[in-house]
Every structure is written in C-alpha cells, then in structure tokens.
Structure 1
Amino acid sequence: MANFSKSNVPQFSVDVYQNEYLPEGGREVSAIVTVTSTGGGTTGGAPLTGASASPSGIPARGANAAVVIMVDCSGSMDYPPTKMRNARDATAAAIDTLRDGTLFGIVDGTHVAREVYPGNGRLATAGAATRAQAKEALRRLKVGGGTAIGTWLRLADRLLADADVAIRHGILLTDGRNEHESPDALRATLDACAGRFTCDARGVGTDWEVKEVTGIASALLGTADIVADPSGLAADFTQMMETAMGKEVADVALRLWTPVGVEIQFVKQVAPTVEDLTARRTEAGPRAGDYPTGSWGDESRDYHVSVRVPEAGIGREMLAARVSLILPDAAGGAPQTLSQGLVRAVWTDDMAASTRINPQVAHYTGQAELAQVIQQGLDARKAGDFDGATAKLGRAVQLASASGNADTAKLLSKVVDVVDAATGTVRLKAKVAEADEMTLETRSTKTVRVKK
C-alpha cells in the first residue's frame, strides 16, 4: 500500500485483500480493493462553532461546490396536494443545509425545465439573503404539465458547467414516469452529463419507475432511493445535502494497469452499493485504463477487481495488476497519483493455499449475486413466473442471511414468507404493498461491509 497526498485534498489509502496463490494451470485472480479517504470534508455535516463558523452556523467551506436541485412540478405532484408541499419543504431544508459560499440553483421540472432561482442562467452564492430569496421563490412553484427528466438534467448541466468549482452535484426528485421523452433521449442526456456532475435521484410515492430513477443515479455516480411517504422528504433531502457538502475532491479515477497477456474480467464497486464499472473504462496509456469513482469526502468504498493471467509454472509469481487512484490536473498537466496497491499471482502446489477463498472476495461475490437475484426475482414475479421468482428470491434470502445483510433481509420479508433462511426456502406472499416491492428493488444494490 502507498499513500500520496497534498494539503488541499483528503488523504487516500488503498488496501488490497486477495488470495494470491494459484494452482498449476490457474488463471483467475480476484482482489477486493478498499479505498479510504480521510481528512477531507465531514459527511455528517456537523456545524462548527466559534470563529471558524459562518453566520449560519455552517462551516464556510462551500465555495468549492455547486448544487442544482431539480423539483418535479408535473401535474401528478398535486395528488395529493401534500406531496408538493412536502417537496417545497424538503427543498427549503436542503437550502438551509448548504454551506455559506456554495453556488446553488433550483430547477422546476415538467415536460420542460425552468429556472426557479436565481434565474438568468446563473447560480446564486449561499448566504442568509440568498437562502431567504430561494425559499420565497419556492412558494411560487406551480404544479402542471408532464415529465421529461432529460430536459431537467440538461438545464442543470448548463448551470453547473459555468461554475468554477471542483464539486458539481445535482439532486433530482420525481414522482412519475418519464412519459414525455423517449428512453433513448434520456439515455443520450445521461451519456452527455456523465462525468460532468454527480446526481442523487429520489422517487417519491409509488407511481415512478424504479429502473429510470436508479439508472439516472447509476449513470451520474449518485445515490437512488425511494421516499414512499412524502413526509419523509425533508429528512432525506437534508441528509443528501449534508453528504454533498462533505465532498472535497471530484473526478477521482481508479486506474488499472495490467502487464502484457493479462485480461480484465471486470471492475465493480461492491460497497456501499454494487455498481459495475467495467464498461466505463477510458484508456489511459499503454495497458492502463481509468474507471470513474465520482467525488469523495471522508469515506471508504470497496471495489472488486478480477483479471485473467497467463498460465505459469509452479514457483512462478507475477504482478497481475496495479491499482492506482488518480486525480486529474485541472490545468491539464500530469495527473496526481493519490494512492496505489498491487494485485499478485503466485503459482503453488500447496493445495491448502491455492484453494483457500479470501473472505473479502467471498463476501462481496455473494453481495453482488444478492443484488442480481433480487432483480431477477422481482422481474420474474412481475412477468407471472412465480416458480422462478420463488427460486431467485429464496436464494436472495439465503445470501442475505449468510452475509448478515439484515436490512435487505428485512426488505425481502415484506415480499416473501421465509420458511428457512439458511436453505433459502420461501413462499411468495399473495399480496405485497407496492411501496415494499419498490423499496426492495431500489435498495437491492446496497451491500453490507465485510467484517475485517
């Protein structure tokens, strides 16, 4: 493990967990790469006091960030009317959570996108006066029209693009399906916005499409969740904004260098959520590629790297991959290496060594399978394939139980009756609340960390 840091960014460290021993003829090498960032922002958003605090009580470290909040104002937000009221209150709570100096704006989203505050294609600078003005502007939000989420994201992108800051972030709230633009149009927007800003997406109520909302968050390296009861929006928005305010460094890439003859099988984030990054590789020189990780505060994430090495004889060893964290230079110069770790391969005739499964690798292989079988089980249930749904969701119960993923186990128990968790024996419930099924689907990729 190596560490590199500068005073203006958090300190990053990389730890590699693997069983490097392969049997004769063995070629598959897996490793869990734990990346930890410390000394940056606080993801808890706890206010400072005394001389270091701003007049709002929030530390004035926000001049490095810009945030655009996109609020669904389509006609369905008026059913019931409390939904829009809760959305206004939640946006106001998020505005109160902004650090002084943060650039921010609010977008009204229907079948078109409109600037609510401050307007004229610009962002406001957070302070007591602008917070009050923004909350006054929220009171004038009108409900009516359709839903074209791509237009909201494109407007957010234009507003954020002009901000001379490191952290660009969006928060998107919707209560319905993206009915006023094609899936291809939304995909093109997500492709255009990827890497330009991160975005957290929330679905309120139960009339929205889970795969749309999770797809937005996945493409823009943010989080997705359901807020089934609109009264929970304010707390959720506050937490999201506190986390955004804790980010200190953006555009960090996981760079994977491999020797000649080594094939990359996959690169996945596996904690705190499962996110397959394999197809997002951008070339970074001979035999090296970068995988995006988004922005970082004080936090730790785990990545699963799997490569296929050439065959070698007993006693041989090789470097299978070098994993580095890379921060691009804003001025276009050489990127900074924040930290790095090594993945090794050693061939042995010691059967006990070569057949031992590393506990971190085993744990996250199970967590990735858990996310997959939940999705497959719910899709089968919707398609009327109840035998297939029972088998997949039973396997999910078994995996959740074995790994100690209590949150997912609890969500699964709302959809199936568990007969025996250890064997994955379940029965589908005859009636399932729509909110429970959507919550399970939305949170299916959340993982539990391995116990070190």
Structure 2
Amino acid sequence: MSDVPEFTIRVDQNPYLPAGGREMHAIVTVEAHSSAGEEATGEDDDETERRRAPAAEVILIDTSGSMSYRGKMAAAKRAARAAVNVLRDGVRFAVVAGANRPRMIYPQGERLVVADETSRRNAVLAVARLEAAGGTAIGSWLRLAERLFTGYDGAVRHAILLTDGKNQHESAEELDAALRVCTGRFLCDARGVGTDWDVAELRKITSALLGGFLDVPDPADLEADFLAMTRAAMGKEVADVSLRVWTPRHARLRFVKQMVPAVEDLTGRRVESGMQTGDYPLGAWGDESREYHLCVEVDEPGDVGRQMRAAWVKLFAGDAALASGNVLAEWTDDETRSTRISGRVAHHTGQSELADAIQSGLEARREGDEDTATARLGRAVVLAREVGNEQISDLLDRVVDVIDPARGTVRLKRDVSKADEMSLDTRSVRTVRTRHGDAADGPGEKRSSSQEGPP
C-alpha cells in the first residue's frame, strides 16, 4: 500500500471579536508533503512506484463533426498521445471517443487496461485512427467513464475531458442526472478548445467532479495542457481526502470555500458525520498546497474576555486522521484588536468578490445591460489590482477601456473577441496566493497531527 503524504494545517485569522460580534473568518491552509515526490531520495524506481497510490485514468476525446475544422482533431490526437505516453506503468487506463454516444477506442470492450510499454503503444496507434463525426452528448461520456472506474474505489480515479462544442445532443436534465451519478466517483479536469463551447457548462461539470477547466483557443496548445493534467494526476498519492469541521452548539458554519488554486464553494457538499460535525470532499492529493476560507457565525456573542473554539478542523483519508487545527474566538473591548483584519482573509475575500464581479459583469454584457456590466467590470478592475491578480487585470484590459483603475471607472469595448471574453470568464475563479509576508495579522497556528478536541 502507498504511503500517505505528510499533511499539515495552518489557520490564519484575527481571533478577536468586538463586544456583540458574531462572525469569525479564518483561512485554513492545507499542505501535503510527498516523500515519493522528493528528488535524490536514494530509492530505486520500484520502491518509488510502491509508494505511489494506485491510479486509473480515462481520456475522453470529443470526436464530433466540428472537431474536423481548424486542426482540432489533429491537435486532439497529439494531446491524447502525449497523455498516454506519460502514464505510469501499472496505471489502469482507457481512451474513449465522444460523440452522440461514447465509443471505446482503447482497449476494446468496456474495461481498463494496465499501462505498460505495449499497451501505451497500442493505445497511441488506436488514437491515430480517430475521425470526427457526429454530435455532442457529454453526459453519456461521463456515464461511461463512471462504469469504467467501477471496481477501482481505492485508486486515484481521474478523467480528462476535451470538447469543442456545447452539449447539444442531450438535454440539460440528462447531463445533470449524469453528474449526480458521477459525483464522488471520480475527478474530472476539462479543456474547451476553440470558441464554440459553453463556459458555464464546463464549469458545472468540473465543479461537480472536483476538477478544473481551462480554455484553449489555439488547438496547438492542447498537447502541453494534456501533459500537465496527466502528470499532475500521476502525482496524486491519496485518493479521497475530506475536511471535517466541528462547530460548538449555538454556532453554525456559514460557508466553506476553496480559494487556492481556484474559487470553489464547498458549502453545499457537506455530509453530516457526527454531532455538530460535517465533512467536505477535497478530492485527491499529491505534493501540493490549497487554501480554504471558513466563516463561523455564533448565535450568542460572548461577554468581553470570553474565549472559545469557534471551529475545529481535521483532515481525513478514509478513517485515518491526517492533521487538525483550531479556529478561535475571543471577545474584547479593545478596538485596536477587534478591528484588525487578517491579511489572508482580506485577500481571499477580495478574490471571491472578484470572481463574482467578472461573471456577473460578463453575463450583463451578454444580455445587453451595459450599465450593470460597466459597474461590475469596473469593480473587477479595482479588485484585481488590490489582490495582485495581474493575469486578470490583463484580460480585463481586453474587454474594457480602463479610465481610472483606482476608482474602477471603465468603458465597455465595442469589439471584443469571443476568445478574450471566454478566457476572462474561464479564468475568473483562478486565484493568486498572497504575496510573501502577507500573512495574517492575528496569530495563526500549524498542526501536523490530531489535537485533543471533539471527535
């Protein structure tokens, strides 16, 4: 069995609340340090492989008729070939062609095959024979992937989805039903190539399946994207991690949001796990770091000087506890303490608002509501500068003329390419970390093992 990475938790917050204050915010940073990912460990290749988690990979390639234009099919073949060639020996995998109905490309029959020199070579030969024809029914592709992953519950189960179009050949209800079946069964990262696919649709799919998605306007860039996605999947060492949050009586968790690497609201994914505790799925992990924003609301504020544990957070992989930490609260009449804002909380609050401003602004622009679009995208310009998200600032410059960046005074551009608008929409949730030294103003803590506390 593979070794689980060493996990640590750090909580950044200002624990002081004013008299009568009820709302406590904290940023929970989760880091996983993988011994298998270290260089120069002195281990041989067999030992390194033993330490890795078993994995299963399904590559879903859109082969609808529109893929035959602008070099998309040729680029998809190169990308799929690159992904197959970096699969580790021993990984179970399959390649699927997606159209009105999905079709097994390699291997034949609904099954996964073990990756080795021979199977990778045969898969590459099968991919070379792909042809574009038919329509798009993504829900059916995902359902096939779910069937292929059956029986591999202990493995890191990951799918790559490529499409160039909208889900036109099945209803929205059919796609939603497929997502309900697939949620929790595997992770899925997606790429939209060209400009004829639907950003909101891919966002919904990857959000449900705990993955990420990006736009690839130029098909020539697909190969690099597939390599990056597959290598990241091959680096995962634990399949299913969850964040367990306990809150005291007379308190409730208002929200849990992933903030790094991308904004994702996990609040609605809560699964009750005990008295006053709920679990939130975090997906598969390798050697990496992610950040989460928690907000706890206390029903009855404490008296000045009272201290309490506002939340207790703990990581689990199956039944194994990996790390834990505390969110604290203390009521004070010292205004200098209670008004101090955690740098990380402020930073991530701004990034969450930035994503909302961009998405609502672009939606208003598409609907012809220029006043709302101007106001929201102007606000996005201000927020992008405040959080230091230079990529978003550059993308906003392609959609609006910035007159006063400090005040957010902008003018909508009349001629905006569809690719630029889609890139801004797609990347609105991709965040930047706080700059070095922008840690919390209030005390933080770091724990790498269980603390005494609620179960």
Partner of 1:261: 250
1:62 & 1:103 partners in 2: Cα distance?
A: 14
Q: Residues 51, 258 of structure 1: CA spacing in aligned structure 2 closer, same or farther, 3 A cutoff? A: closer
Deviations 1:301-346 (A, max 9, x none): 1100001112111111111100101111xxxxxx111001101110
SS of corresponding position for 2:158: strand
1:14 aligns with 2:14: no
- Which segment is superposed worse, 186-195 or 285-294? 186-195
State the Cα distance separating 1:189 from its structure 2 match: 1.0
**2:44 match:** 52
Q: Which residue of 2 aligns with 1:235?
A: 224
Partner of 1:355: 339
Deviation at 1:261, TM superposition (A): 0.6
Check whether the contact 1:41–1:245 (CA below 8 A) recurs between aligned residues. no
Per the alignment, residue 203 of structure 2 pairs with: 214
Deviation of the 1:142 alpha carbon: 2.2
Which string of whole-angstrom CA distances, capped at 9 and with x for unpartnered residues, describes residues 79-108 of structure 1?
23x210110110000011111111110011
Any idea what SS the aligned residue of 1:98 has?
coil
Counterpart in the other structure of 1:68 = 58
Q: Report the identity percentage.
A: 54
Name the CA distance, whole Å, in 2 between partners of 1:316 and 1:198. 43
Give, in whole Å, the separation in 2 of the partners of 1:94 and 1:60.
Answer: 22
Q: Identify which of 107, 116, 134 aligns with 1:118.
A: 107
Query: In the alignment, which residue of structure 2 is the partner of 1:161?
Result: 150
Task: Please list the CA deviations of residues 275-300 of structure 1 after superposition, one character each: whole Å capped at 9, or x if unmatched.
Answer: 00000000001100001110101111
Matched with 1:430 is 414
Q: 1:39 to 1:62 in 2, by over 3 A?
A: closer
Q: How far did residue 420 of structure 1 move?
A: 2.1
- For 1:134, which of 102, 117, 123 is the aligned residue? 123
Q: Deviations over 1:413-448 (max 9, x none)?
A: 111111222221111111011101001101110111
Partner of 1:331: none
| Contact 1:61-1:99 within 8 A present in 2 as well | no
Distance of 1:180 and 1:297 partners within structure 2: 36
Change (3 A) 1:235 1:155: same
| 133-142 or 231-240: bigger deviation | 133-142
What's the counterpart of residue 241 of structure 2?
A: 252
Corresponding position of 1:318? 308
* SS of 1:398 mapped into structure 2: helix
Q: State which of 404, 428, 440 in structure 2 corresponds to 1:420.
A: 404
User: Cα–Cα, structure 1 residues 42 and 429, in superposed 2: closer, same or farther, change >3 Å?
Assistant: farther
Q: Which runs of 5+ in 2 are unaligned?
A: 440-455
The separation in 2 between residues aligned to 1:408 and 1:42, in whole angstroms, is: 31
Change (3 A) 1:49 1:20: closer
Give the counterpart of 1:411 among 372, 395, 407.
395
Distance in 2, matches of 1:176 and 1:216, equals 14
Structure 2 counterpart SS, 1:303: strand
The aligned residue for residue 443 of structure 2 is none
5+ unaligned residues in a row in structure 1: which ranges? 1-5, 329-334
2:375 is aligned to 391
The equivalent residue for 1:37 is 32
Distance 1:62 1:352, change over 3 A: closer
Structure 1 distance, partners of 2:111, 2:52, is 17
Q: Residue 313 of structure 1 aligns to which amino acid in structure 2?
A: D
Checking the alignment, whether the CA contact within 8 Å between 1:10 and 1:38 is kept in structure 2 is yes
Amino acid at match of 1:377: G
Q: Partners in 1 of 2:112 and 2:263 — Cα distance?
A: 33
| 1:15 maps to amino acid | R
CA distance in 2, matches of 1:217, 1:155: 16
Aligned residues: 434
Q: Distance in 2 between matches of 1:295 and 1:190?
A: 18
Judged with a 3 Å threshold, the aligned counterparts in structure 2 of structure 1 residues 62 and 100 are, in CA distance, closer, same or farther, namely farther
Write out per-residue CA displacement over residues 216-261 of structure 1, whole angstroms, 9 at most, x where no aligned residue. Answer: 1111001100110001100110011011111111210010001111
Kept in 1: contact 2:246–2:313 (CA 8 A):
yes
Deviation per CA, 1:21-45: give whole Å up to 9, x if none.
01111100000000000025549xx
Distance 1:140 1:403 in 2: 47
Contact 2:2-2:51 at 8 Å conserved across structures:
no
